[in-house]
Structure 1
Amino acid sequence: MKVTSSTTTAKPRLTTSAMIASIAAEGQPTRAAPFGHALIELARRRPEVVGMTADLGKYTDLHVFAKEFPDRYYQMGMAEQLLFGGASGLAAEGFMPFVTTYAVFASRRAYDFIHQTIAEEDRNVKIACALPGLTSGYGPSHQAAEDLALFRAMPNMTIIDPCDALEIEQVVPAMAEHHGPVYMRLLRGQVPLVLDEYDYKFELGKAKQLRGGDDVLIISSGLLTMRALEAAKKLEADRIGASVLHVPTIKPLDVETIVAACRRPGRAVVVAENHTIIGGLGEAVAAVLMRERVHPAFHTIGLPDEFLAAGALPTLHDRYGISTDAIVGSVKSWL
C-alpha cells in the first residue's frame, strides 16, 4: 500500500521526560550543563578533584566531566551508601570528591552515611544533587521537597541553593575553596540564565539584593529567585514595588543582611522557596526575625506539607503556588 504525505505539515509535537524537564521558559536564555563544565575548569587547576556518581552521570551533568577526566571519574553503580562512604574515604586520603546523585537519594537513602562518615568527620566532600524540590514530575519518589530541612539539621554541613547557570558556575569554585562538606541543590541540563542582568557575584554565606521596591520584600533562593524576579516585573506593571533579596546560602544564613532588609518599616516580607514550608528557608528566616525582635507582616510561599502529585511541571507549579503568576496573585492578596 502506497502512503502519500499530506500537503499540510503538522507542527512537531514537543515532548520531554518528566525526569529531566527543563525549568526554562520558552525562548529564555540557557546554558548547557553549567555544573559539569565548571567542574572541568576547576579540575584543570586542582588535581585533587574527582567526580563520583551512582549511575546518574548523564542526569547530573557529570558525564561531561567523565569524558574530560575518565581516570578521575568513579561510577559506583546504584548504591548511594557506597557512593558516599567511598567519597569519605577518598577525602580522608586528600582528594576532593564532587559527588552527584538525585536529592532524594542523598537526603533520604544515604542520610546516615553522609551524617556519620562525612559530616561528623568534617570531610572535604562536595555533594551536588539534581531534582531539588519540585523540579521533577515523577511524584514523591523523586521530588526532594524536604532536603533542606534534613541537611539544615546536620552539623558541619554548608548548604547552597543556586538560582541559575551563572551562579552554579560561580558556586563550584567557591565550594572548593571552602574546607568541609557542602550540599548544593543542582539545576541540570539546559539551565536558565538570569543573574547576568544584575551584575551578580556569588559569595558563600552572603545574601544579595537584586532589585529594590517599597511595598514588599521577597526573600528567595534557588529556582524561586528566578520566579520572584519575574513576579516583581509583573507587580511593577501594577505599581507595586517588589524588592528581591536572593539568599543562595541556606546555611550559614546571612542574618545581618536579612534582618537589615526586614527592618525597613511599612514593607511586607514574603519568603519564597522551592521546598516544603516545614524546615526550610521560610522557617529559618522567621526564627531569625523572632530572635532579633523584628516583626514585619510575614508570609511564606512554598510547597505544602504533603506528598506532591505527579504531572507536568508547569501544572504542578501552578497547583502548588510557586509559578510566577501564582506568586503575583499571592503577593497581591497580602498587600
Structure 2
Amino acid sequence: MSEPPIPPNSRRLSKFKARKAPNQKQATSAMIASLDSEGRDTIAAPFGNTLAELAEHRADIVGLSADLSKYTDLHVFAQAHPDRFYQMGMAEQVLMSAAAGLAREGFTPFATTYAVFAARRAYDFICMAIAEEALPVKICCALPGLTTGYGPSHQATEDLAIMRAMPGLTVLDPCDAIDTQQATRAIADHPGPVYMRLLRGQVPNVLGDYDYAFEIGKAKLLQDGTDVLFISSGIMTMRTLDAAKALARDGVSCAVLHSPTIKPLDKATILKQAAKGGRLVVAAENHSVTGGLGEAVAACLMQGGVTATFRQIGLPDEFLDAGALPTLHAQYGITVDAIAASVKTWLKE
C-alpha cells in the first residue's frame, strides 16, 4: 500500500533525520512504502468505497475531514455524496465538535484525519463532546503506528493506549481490506462512538483466504498450532500469519488469534486459547509496547488466572526515527523475519 507524499503546505514534517538500521540497506528513499502488498491481491480504498456504498441506502451517513480526505480515502465518499461531505480544514478540534453536533441532530458522522491528530490534538474534544455523551461518531484515522516514515510528528505509536483509556469508546485495529470493509459496515450500525485505525490506498487482501467474519468485540482464530499462540491486530496479523508459515518450515507450529477489537477486548476467547497448556503466547502489534494490545492481553491473562510464558512484539517506548518504512520496520523488529527470529529465541529460553 503506497502513501503519497504529504504536501509541504499541508502538514509540518518531522525534523528528525532518517537513519539506517545497523547493517541494513536503505530500501527506498520514499518515506511511505508498501505494506505487505507485494505478491498479494489488493483492494482499492476499502474504507472510502464501503462508506460510499453504505450511504446509497442510508441518508444519515455524513463524512467529515480535517484537510486530509485524499489521505484517508474519504475523497471517494465525497465524490459520490458531495452534499454530505464537510471539509473542516486544519482544525481537528472543530472536526470533532462538528461531528458531535451532527450526531445530536440524528446523523451518523464519519470523521477522518491522521491518527496522531485525533489522539493527541483532539483528545479532549472527543472525550467531552463525543464519548461522554455516547454519540455515534465514527472516528476513522489513517497512518496508525509505524505506517509512515515522517517521524514522531506523524507516527501514531501511542494512539491505542490513549483511546482505550477513554470511557465508552470502542477501539478497532483492522488487519486488511476485508477487515476494513466489514468493520466499516459494523461501526455504521454500532450505537456508540468508535475509534478505528485505517489502512488506505491499495490495501492487501489477506483474510479473504480464511473463513473470517468481523464482529465488534470478537477475536477470531485464523489458524491453530501447538507451539506458539500469536495474538495480534492490524498489520501485525498479516506479519504473524507469514511468520507462522516461515516457522512451520522449521517445525514450529503456530496458532494465530486475530484481535481487531482492542476495546472491548475479547477476554473469553483470549483466555480460552491461552489456557491451552505448553504454548508460548506472543502479543504482536503495530503500536508501542506501552498501553496497547500487549498490555491489555497481559492484564487479561493475569486477571483471568491463566499462567503462560508471555512475550510482546511491538514498537519501543520512544520517539521513532524517520526514514523508509522497510528500513524502519527492520530496525524496530516488526518484519516477518524479525518475528520468526524472536520466537525461535524465546522457544529456546
TM-score, normalized by length of structure 1? 0.94
1:228-307 maps to which residues of 2 (within 5 A)? 228-307=240-319
CA-to-partner distance for each residue in 1:163-198, whole Å, 9 max, x for gaps?
000111101110011101000000011111100000
Q: Name the CA distance, whole Å, in 2 between partners of 1:250 and 1:289.
A: 15
Q: Name the CA distance, whole Å, in 2 between partners of 1:25 and 1:311.
A: 19
AA aligned to 1:257 is T
Match of 1:176 in 2: 188
Cα distance 1:17–1:98, how it changes in 2: closer, same or farther (>3 A)?
farther
Cα drift, residue 121 of structure 1: 0.8
Deviating beyond 3 angstroms after TM superposition, the runs of 4 or more aligned structure 1 residues are: 14-17
AA aligned to 1:120 is E
Cα distance 1:268–1:15, how it changes in 2: closer, same or farther (>3 A)?
closer
Alignment counterpart, residue 41 of structure 1, candidates 53, 73, 80: 53
Q: Name the CA distance, whole Å, in 2 between partners of 1:117 and 1:37.
A: 28
Match of 1:92 in 2: 104
Please state whether the residue corresponding to 1:136 is helix, strand or coil.
Answer: coil
Alignment counterpart, residue 222 of structure 1, candidates 234, 238, 241: 234
Match of 2:159 in 1: 147
RMSD across aligned C-alpha pairs, in angstroms? 1.1
8 Å contact kept, 1:218–1:243:
yes
Alignment counterpart, residue 57 of structure 1, candidates 69, 79, 99: 69
Q: Name the CA distance, whole Å, in 2 between partners of 1:27 and 1:306.
A: 32
Cα drift, residue 24 of structure 1: 2.9
CA-to-partner distance for each residue in 1:223-271, whole Å, 9 max, x for gaps?
0000000000000000100100000000000010000000011111000
Match of 1:187 in 2: 199
8 Å contact kept, 2:30–2:324:
no
Please state whether the residue corresponding to 1:260 is helix, strand or coil.
Answer: helix
Cα distance 1:15–1:315, how it changes in 2: closer, same or farther (>3 A)?
closer
Cα drift, residue 17 of structure 1: 5.0
Alignment counterpart, residue 18 of structure 1, candidates 31, 40, 45: 31
Q: Name the CA distance, whole Å, in 2 between partners of 1:94 and 1:277.
A: 38
Q: Name the CA distance, whole Å, in 1 between partners of 2:37 and 2:104.
A: 43
The structure whose Rg is larger is 1
Q: Name the CA distance, whole Å, in 2 between partners of 1:196 and 1:216.
A: 23
1:205 aligns to 2:217 (yes or no): yes
8 Å contact kept, 2:28–2:324:
no
Q: Name the CA distance, whole Å, in 2 between partners of 1:226 and 1:24.
A: 8
8 Å contact kept, 1:22–1:191:
no
Q: Name the CA distance, whole Å, in 1 between partners of 2:218 and 2:298.
A: 18
AA aligned to 1:38 is T
8 Å contact kept, 2:114–2:141:
yes
AA aligned to 2:252 is I
Q: Name the CA distance, whole Å, in 2 between partners of 1:175 and 1:78.
A: 25
AA aligned to 2:132 is E
> Structure 2: which 5+ runs fail to align?
1-26
Cα drift, residue 28 of structure 1: 1.9
Match of 1:127 in 2: 139
8 Å contact kept, 2:36–2:238:
no
CA-to-partner distance for each residue in 1:199-223, whole Å, 9 max, x for gaps?
2110111000001110000000000
Match of 1:29 in 2: 41
TM-score, normalized by length of structure 2? 0.90
Cα drift, residue 64 of structure 1: 0.7
Please state whether the residue corresponding to 2:273 is helix, strand or coil.
Answer: helix
8 Å contact kept, 1:227–1:323:
yes
Count of residues in Structure 1 that have an aligned counterpart in Structure 2: 321
Please state whether the residue corresponding to 1:82 is helix, strand or coil.
Answer: helix
> Structure 1: which 5+ runs fail to align?
1-13
Q: Name the CA distance, whole Å, in 2 between partners of 1:41 and 1:332.
A: 45
Cα drift, residue 45 of structure 1: 1.5
8 Å contact kept, 2:230–2:257:
yes
Cα drift, residue 81 of structure 1: 0.5
Cα drift, residue 16 of structure 1: 7.9
Q: Name the CA distance, whole Å, in 2 between partners of 1:193 and 1:174.
A: 18
Cα drift, residue 15 of structure 1: 7.1
8 Å contact kept, 1:164–1:195:
yes
8 Å contact kept, 1:123–1:181:
yes
Match of 1:164 in 2: 176
Q: Name the CA distance, whole Å, in 1 between partners of 2:248 and 2:302.
A: 30
8 Å contact kept, 1:220–1:272:
yes
8 Å contact kept, 2:29–2:324:
no
